[in-house]
Structure 1
Amino acid sequence: MINETAVRHILSLSGGKDSTALAIYLRDRVENMEYIFHDTGKELPDTLEYIERLEAYLGTKVIRTTTRETFDDVLRTKGGMLPSGKRRWCTDLLKLKPFEAYIGDQPCVNYVGIRADENRVGYISHKPNIKAVFPFVEDGIDYAGVVRILDDAGLGLPPYTEWGRTRSGCFFCFYQQKIEWVRLKTHYPELYEQAKAYEKPNRINGQVFHWTDEPLTEIERPERMAEIEESTRKAQERRRIRTPNRPLASVLGGLELEEPARDGCMICQL
Structure 2
Amino acid sequence: MVLSRASQKTFAIRAKNWTESAHRFLKQCSDAGNVEACYTLGMIRFYCLQNRGSGASLMAKAAICSHAPALYSLAVIQFNGSGGSKNDKDLRAGVALCARAAFLGHIDALRELGHCLQDGYGVRQNITEGRRFLVQANARELAAVLSSEAASSVAASRSCLTWNTHPPHHRHVTGSGCPLLSDFGCNIPAPEAHPASQFLAEWFEARGGSPGNGLRLCSHVGCGRPETRRHEFRRCSVCGAVNYCSRACQALDWKLRHKMDCAPVERWLDDNGDVADDVADDIMEES
Q: TM-score scaled by structure 1?
A: 0.33
Q: TM-score scaled by structure 2?
A: 0.31
Q: Which structure carries more helix by proportion?
A: 2
Q: Which structure carries more strand by proportion?
A: 1
